[in-house]
Chains A and B, each alone.
Chain A
């Protein structure tokens, strides 16, 4: 069975500091991996995704993530946090399931950015 674990329900960083949000997954087959961001009172929007090819994936707003198969991880990083990065971040895995596909989301990590 698939599962997604995000370490830390809340992460707090100072403005300008490194952002690191952790995501580990379990899957019997290599999945597709996603990071979505949710700003207050909004729906989720895609930050970045890994499907195939280069394991270091760059997304919007300066975020990037690296797929490490041996560690079953897909951690999200940003070198320098900005106040506007304060939001909730969700890691998700998706794979084929019968005639369709299923997506499993992690519990989310809320990022706080201190001035």
Chain B
């Protein structure tokens, strides 16, 4: 089954404790992206990647890191989480091109205390 998977689905952590949210897709997509969803703000792009070893900042990259060492994986790293990073995070993937449909993972709900 074609899908985007994220782990963990739910995470509670404390301020300053490094964490990684994994994202994997099995559709051989070049493009992958991370979004955060907050009430009243919709989805805002954190980082995206056009291919292996090619990443770029989205609209809200502060406090996040990403890497793309393999085509299928695109982990999101929070080196020192803060309470304002409490949010619902989505990973998405698509073929290359702005006209392409993005396929979303199920989301990771993060609470930073």
Q: How many residues of A contact B (CB 8 A)?
A: 32
A44 and B90 contact, CB distance less than 8 A = yes
Best-buried of A9, A49, A101 by chain B (most CB within 10 Å): A101
Give the CA-CA distance A96 to B104 in the complex, in Å.
Answer: 20
Indicate which residue in A41, A94, A98, A105 contacts B42 across the interface (CB closer than 8 Å).
Answer: A105
Contacts of A42 in B (CB 8 A): 106-107
| Chain A residue nearest in CB terms to B38 | A107
Contacts of A46 in B (CB 8 A): 101-102
B43 in contact (CB, < 8 A): yes
Given contacts A32-B99, A51-B99, A102-B58, contact A43 B107 (CB under 8 A): yes
Enumerate A78-115 residues with CB–CB distance to B below 8 Å: 90, 92, 94-108
Give the CA-CA distance A95 to B97 in the complex, in Å.
Answer: 8
A105 and B31 contact, CB distance less than 8 A = no
A9 and B90 contact, CB distance less than 8 A = no
Q: Is the interface of A mostly helix, strand, loop or mixed?
A: strand
B106 and A108 contact, CB distance less than 8 A = no
Best-buried of B4, B54, B102 by chain A (most CB within 10 Å): B102
Q: How many residues of B contact A (CB 8 A)?
A: 27
A100 and B42 contact, CB distance less than 8 A = no
A-B contact pairs, 28 of them (CB 8 A): A4-B42, A32-B98, A41-B106, A41-B107, A43-B90, A43-B92, A43-B105, A43-B106, A43-B107, A44-B90, A45-B104, A51-B99, A94-B98, A96-B98, A98-B56, A100-B48, A100-B56, A101-B31, A101-B97, A101-B98, A102-B48, A102-B98, A103-B45, A103-B98, A103-B102, A104-B59, A106-B42, A107-B40
Q: Which residues of A contact B (CB under 8 A)?
A: 4, 6, 9, 31-32, 34, 36, 41-46, 49, 51, 90, 92, 94-108
